Amino acid sequence: MSEQAPILRIEGLHVRLPAGADRAFAVEDANLELHANETLCVVGESGSGKSLTARAVLGLLPKPHVVASAGRIDFAGRDLLQLDADGLRKVRGAEIAMVFQEPMTALNPLMTVGAQIEEVLDVHGALKPRERRSRVLALLEDVHLPDPERIARAYPHQISGGQRQRAMIAMALILEPKLLIADEPTTALDVTTQAQILKLVRELQRKRGTAVMFITHDFGVVADIADRVAVMRHGRVVETGTAESVLTRPAHPYTRALIAAVPPLAPPERPPAQHAPDCLAVRHLHKSFHVGGAWTGGRGKVVQAVRDVSFRLARGETLGIVGESGSGKSTVARCLVRLINADEGEISLGDVDLRALSARELRPVRRRIQMVFQDPYGSLNPRYRVGRIVAEGPIVNGTPVERAYARARELLELVGLDARAADRFPHEFSGGQRQRIGIARALALDPEVLVADEPVSALDVSVQAQVLELLASVRDRLQLSIVFITHDLRVAAQVCDWIAVMQRGEVVEYGRTSSVFESPRHAYTRELLESIPGRNWSLGAARSNFSDGAHPATS
Amino acid sequence: MTAEQATASPAGSAWRDAWRPFWRRFRRNRAAVAGLIILAAIALIAAGADVLRPGDPFRLAGQPFAPPFGAFLFGTDSLGRDVAAGMVHGARTSLLIGLVATVAAVLLGTLIGGVAGYYGGWLDDLLMRVTEIFQTIPFFIFAILLVAILKPSIGSIVFAIAIVSWPGVARLVRGEFLSLRGREYVQASIVMGMPDARVIFLQILPNALSPIIVTGSLMIATAILTESALAFLGLSDPNVMSWGFQIGSGRTHLRTAWWVCTFPGLAIVLTALAINLVGEGLNDALNPRLRDR
C-alpha cells in the first residue's frame, strides 16, 4: 500500500502442534505484512490457523504444547518471538492490544468497567491517578457509549453485549497501541450490533492511524472493513492481496470456493406456489416465562417471549423466521414441536391442534412434525451408533426393528453419507456430516413439517452451503414444509419462500421473501437488511454473476 | 421389548469399544491398580472363608488371649475365638453389606434424583426438600437410630446404611439430569415421541453413568466403615461375625491383648484404602476432562 516499512512483518511462521494432533503444524510458513493505518483481514474456516497466528504475535499460544517453532515476527524493529516474558509484557497492551470474541468472558465480572480500563493504565504506569479517570471517560465517549459516567461504574453483566465489546475496544485502545488485533470480535454479536462495532473499528482506525489485524470467518465482514486480505487454509496463507482484488478477482481456487459459498443476497427465482393446501397454521401464539423461584409465589418478573404470532405454511414451502437473539424465534420453534407449551393460541397441523393435545394424545402425532437442531456436537447421543440414532424414532413409533435399520441406511445415503456410516459413532464425523445425520434422523419419521432451528449457524460457510442445498433438495423431493429459524438473512434469502421478521416476541413483518428483501415495510426489517455485512459487495457481485450466467450456490 | 433385543448386539460391541480405552486409562494410575489387586485378594479370601477357616468363627478354638504368630496366626480373643477365622468370615459380612447397601442407595438415589432432574417443577421441589430433610440429620446418629428401632440384623443394617447414603447420590444425579435433559439429543428423543421412561433410562442415564459409578465405588468404603462402627457399638447381627464386632469385643483388652483389635482394624483400613484408590482410578478413567492428558 505504502512505501513505508510495515509495522508488523510475519515471516515463515511455523506453529507446531503436539504429537498426536491431526496435523504437525497449526500454522505453516505463514508470511504476512501489515502497515500503519491499514486493516488486514485474516480470513479462513475453523482450523485454518488464523487465530493461532494472531495469538503467536502476542505470545499467547497455549504453552507448552503449542509453540512457534520457526520464523520471525518483526514488530517495530524487534522479533517478538525472541522476546522474554518481561519484554513481551511491555509490548502487550501498550504497543499491541487485543480484542477477543466473547466480551462477557473477556471482562472480569467482579470489577467495574471503569476500574478495568484504569487497571491497564496502572499496570503500564501511565498517567497520574487523577488523570486516568478523565482519560477513561473520554475514551468511553470515543467508542460512543451512552452516558460514560454510568458505564464506567457498571459491572460487565449490567451492560449489553455490544456495549461490552465497545468497552473492550476502549480498553484495548487506551494506551494508543500501534497495532490492534481483533479475533472474531463481532461473531458473538447480533447483526445490527455487529454493523455498529465494525463502523466503530473503522472510524477509530482512521482517526488514530492504528494498524488493525482482524481475524474473521465472514467474507461479508471482510468486504466491509478490510484494506488487505489474507486467506488461510490448513495453516497456510493461500492468497494475499488488496480487498478489492481478492473479493472481485480471487486467484486461488480455495478463495474462489469460499466466496462462492457465501449466500448471495438476492433471493433466487423460485416458481410461485401452486396453491397447495396449508399444512401448518399458527394463530395468535403467546408464550411468557416467569423469572423467579417457586417460593416467591409468582411475584418474579414475567417475560413475554412470544406475543401474538400467526403464520401459515403450505406443503412444500419454507418459512423463514428471522430475528436477533432474544427475539423469540427459538421459543416459537420449541412451541411448534411442543418442547415447551405455549400459553395461548392454536397450532394446527393438518386437522389437529397440537397445542390442545394431552401428552398421551400428542405422542402418536409427534412424528408428523420433526426438528433439526443447531449444535452438530450436542444433538447426537455420543453413546449410540449412527444407525441406532436414526432408527430409534421409527422403532419407538412401532416400525419393526429390521425395517427401521434398513430405512436408516437408505436415509443416510439420501443425505449424502455412506450407508456404512450406520455402524460408526457420532464423534467419528465432522460437524457438517453430523448435521446430515440430524436431518436423516428427522426424516426417518416421514414428517410433514420440519422445524430447523439455526441448522447451519455452527458450520463453516462451505459446509453451510452444502447442508442448505441438502435441505432444499429433500424439501422438493419429499414435499416437506420447513420452518427455518435463522439469524442470518443471507441464508434466509436462499432457502425461504416466506419470511417472518421477529423483534421482541412479535412478528413485525411477514411476506414473500422477494418482497421483504426488495421493499421492506417495517423500519426494523430495513435496519436488519442494512446491517448485513458485505451488503454492497454482495449486491454488486450478484449483478456481475448474473451476467456470467453462473449461480454461486450451485458451484 | 423387541427393540432391546435387536439393538443388543450393536450395544454389546459398543460396550467393548468403550471398555478398551477405559482400561488403558485406568491402568495408567498405578495406585488404582494396586487398590484393585488388594480388593481382589480380600474378595478371594471372603469367598474362600469356609476353606481357609472352616467351621463357625464363634467356636472356641483354644486358650483365651493366645498371642499371635503362634498356634493361631492372629491369636485368640478373650473367649478363645480364633481372630483370623473371625476376620476371614468378617470380610464376607463387610463386603456384602458394603456392596448391597451401596447398590440399594445408588438405585434409590438415581431414581429420585433422575425423576427430580428430568421432570423439574414442583416434583423437583418436593423431592429435593425431602432429600434435604434426610441430609440435615447427622448420618451416623440416624443409622444408629434406625438399627436400634429395627433390631440389629444384616437386613436392618443394610437398610439403615442405604437410607442414610442415598441423598448424596440423589443430588448428584439430579444435577447431571438437569444439565443433560437440555441437550439437543435428549430434546430430539422427546420430539420423536419417545416415552419418558425410555428417554430417562436409554438416553440420559447412560451419559450420567460415569459420576454415578465413581460416587458409588467410594460409597462402598463409607458403608463398610459405617457397618464396622455400628458393630463396634454392639449394633450388629449377633449371629454374624464382623470386623467391627471383633474390635468392639476386644477394645477392653486393648492394653493386654493388642492383637484382638489391631488385625481387624488393619483389615478395615486396608479395604477402605483399596476401595478409595480404585474409586479415584475410576474417576480419572471416566472423567472426560482428564482424558488423554
pLDDT digits (tens, 9 = 90+) for B204-251: 998 888 889 888 888 988 898 898 888 888 888 888 888 888 888 888
Residue from A71, A130, A120 nearest A94 by CA: A120
Q: Which residue of A has its CA nearest to B199?
A: A396
What are the residue ranges of helices labelled H in chain B?
A: 2-28, 30-47, 49-52, 83-119, 121-136, 139-150, 154-181, 184-191, 196-198, 205-232, 243-250, 259-286
B187 in contact with chain A, both atoms CB, cutoff 8 A: yes
d(CA A435, CA B64): 76
Residue from A512, A458, A515 nearest A487 by CA: A458
Give the pairing of strands A301-314 and A278-291. antiparallel
Look at A445 and B187 and tell me if their CB atoms are within 8 Å: no
**A384, A425, A427, A443, best to mutate vs chain B, most B CBs in 10 Å:** A384
Q: Which residue of B has its CA nearest to A18?
A: B293
A435 in contact with chain B, both atoms CB, cutoff 8 A: no
Look at B125 and A395 and tell me if their CB atoms are within 8 Å: no
Per-residue pLDDT of chain A (555 residues; tens, 9 = 90+): 445 788 899 999 999 888 777 788 889 899 999 988 899 999 988 888 888 898 888 888 887 778 888 888 998 888 888 888 888 888 888 889 988 887 777 888 899 999 998 888 888 877 888 888 888 998 898 888 888 889 899 998 888 888 888 888 888 888 888 899 999 888 878 888 888 888 888 888 888 888 999 999 888 899 989 999 999 998 899 999 998 899 888 999 999 988 888 888 877 777 666 667 788 999 999 998 876 555 555 556 788 889 999 999 988 899 999 988 888 898 999 999 999 889 999 999 888 898 888 888 898 899 999 999 988 888 999 888 999 999 999 999 888 999 999 999 999 998 989 888 898 888 888 888 999 999 999 999 999 999 999 898 888 888 888 899 899 898 988 889 999 999 888 899 988 999 999 998 899 999 999 889 888 999 999 999 888 888 888 776 654 544 443 344 433
**ipTM attached to this prediction:** 0.79
What residues in B contact A362, CB-CB < 8 Å?
Answer: 193
Where is pLDDT greater, at B77 or A331?
Answer: A331
Residue A300, pLDDT score: 63
A368 in contact with chain B, both atoms CB, cutoff 8 A: no
Concatenated DSSP letters for A80-103? Answer: GGG--HHHHHHHBTTTEEEE-S-H
d(CA B205, CA B110): 9
Residue A41, pLDDT score: 93
CB atoms within 10 A of CB A390: 30
| Cβ-contact A219, A243 below 8 angstroms | no
Distance from CA of B166 to the nearest CA of A (A): 25
B198 in contact with chain A, both atoms CB, cutoff 8 A: yes
CB atoms within 10 A of CB A146: 11
Q: Which residue of A has its CA nearest to B123?
A: A294
A425 in contact with chain B, both atoms CB, cutoff 8 A: yes
Residue from A54, A49, A9 nearest A31 by CA: A9
d(CA A251, CA A248): 10
d(CA A290, CA A390): 36
The CA-atom distances, in angstroms, between A407 and each of A400, A416, A443, A469 are 11, 14, 10, 22
Look at A364 and B193 and tell me if their CB atoms are within 8 Å: yes
pTM: 0.80
Which A residues, 464 through 483, put their C-beta within 8 Å of a C-beta on chain B?
Answer: none
B3 in contact with chain A, both atoms CB, cutoff 8 A: yes
Q: Which amino acid is at B192?
A: M
Q: Which amino acid is at B151?
A: K
- Matching residue, cell 524493529: A77
Largest CA distance in chain B: 74
| Cβ-contact A332, A502 below 8 angstroms | yes
Q: Which residue of A has its CA nearest to B126?
A: A294
Q: How many residues does chain A have?
A: 555
Which of the 8 DSSP states describes residue A264? Answer: P
Which B residues, 205 through 244, put their C-beta within 8 Å of a C-beta on chain A?
Answer: 206-207
Which B residues, 94 through 123, put their C-beta within 8 Å of a C-beta on chain A?
Answer: 122
Q: Which residue of B has its CA nearest to A338?
A: B191
Q: How many CA atoms lie within 13 A of A44 on its CB side?
A: 26
Q: Which residue of B has its CA nearest to A397?
A: B193
Concatenated DSSP letters for A119-165? Answer: HHHHHTT-S-HHHHHHHHHHHHHHTT-SSHHHHHHS-GGGS-HHHHH
| Per-residue pLDDT reduced to its tens digit, B161-195 | 999 999 999 999 999 999 998 889 999 999 988 89
Look at B187 and A371 and tell me if their CB atoms are within 8 Å: yes
